[in-house]
Copies of this chain bind each other. A is one copy, B any other.
Amino acid sequence: MHQTAIIGGSGYSGAELMRLLAGRKDLRIARVTANASAGQRVDVLYPDLAGRVDLIFEEFDPDATGEVDVAFVALPSGQGMTVVPSLRERGIRVIDLGGDFRLQAVGEYQQYYRHIHTAPGLLKEAVYGLPELNREKIARASLIANPGCYPTSAILALLPALHHAVVEPQGIVINSLSGISGAGRASSVEYSFTELNENVRAYKIGVHQHVPEIESVLRAGTGRDVSVSFVPHLIPISRGIYTTVHARLAKTMSDEDAAELYESFYRGMPFVRVKRQIPQIHSVVKTNYCDIYVTVQPRTGHLIIVSVIDNLVKGAAGQAIQNMNLMFGLPETEGLGV
């Protein structure tokens, strides 16, 4: 039986990891840490887990974590890099759900995340954990940089079109709508119910830390010089990301051509469903699916791609488990409801 640990388990991604792992017979959550909640029962903070997860939050201690086969690090960006080195030194494989190991360029990291990177030496062993792009590397990896929620939806939307060079790589427009759980367990007025309900606001236009992630992964994955204009919006739903992409067509094609190109690209990938109808958030909530729709607009010369995911599942905990399955040689879909 595989042993796992969750480091920083008191946030929404940590709780989602516990929800998804709790039912598994083939592995065990050996421990869950959360320094600020140490000593508290997990099911007091997350009462839905009562009867399903019988654990107490512990303080993080890398030595106590020694026996596990994989550690999920679900700390905020900037904190992951403070614990990952100690885990790797003890030979523990790590899946980091934060942003600290997603960008190979330290300067870019520091510009967008506004932290000094304290573990740059680990970047070379970090594998970007998008199974639809890096399945083989993930299986052999010791350190996974689990993708961001927005990048998961945007990269899956764009990979086929860029790979086949049917769109121009420059000036791609990405509008994304995110559920509020994407902001984490937040205690500021701006994330309070009264401020967000019946409201919408765009934020971090042009400066969001997911811009370099989207661009660098697409460049590395397709060899094209990609630039994107990314506008994230907060909307009053709890879960889900809705991404609408406009890219300029590089060649003439029909809706049918486009759909077939996408279907062909994602054949055999169990969590991407190419749809012939415009997707909706409801179709993917609490699942690890990414639903994608593609349509050609001859009037304006755009390819429009819509993709939807659950930010806490395919955009975080579910994808982390998909990566763990690959690392353990298990079926990619194990424990993910398919």
Which of B192, B231, B273 interacts with A186 by CB under 8 Å? B192
Residues B285 and A237 in contact, CB atoms below 8 Å apart: no
Residues of B within 8 A of A278 (CB): 201-203, 205
Stretch at the interface among A74-82, A109-117, A150-158, A174-182: A174-182
Residues of A in contact (CB 8 Å), total: 79
Residues B48 and A227 in contact, CB atoms below 8 Å apart: no
Residues B200 and A283 in contact, CB atoms below 8 Å apart: no
Q: Scan residues 207-248 of chain A and give those whose CB is less than 8 A from a CB of chain B.
A: 227-229, 231, 233, 235-240, 242, 244, 246, 248
Residues of B within 8 A of A199 (CB): 237, 240, 280-282
**How many copies, total?**
4
Residues of B within 8 A of A195 (CB): 193, 282
Is A185 part of the binding interface, using a Cβ–Cβ cutoff of 8 Å? yes
Q: Whole-angstrom distance from the CB of A14 to the nearest CB of chain B? A: 14
Residues of B within 8 A of A254 (CB): none
Q: Using an 8 Å CB-CB cutoff, how does the interface string of A290-309 with B read, 1 for contact, 0 for none?
A: 01000101011110101010
Whole-angstrom CA separation of A187 from B179 in the bound complex: 19
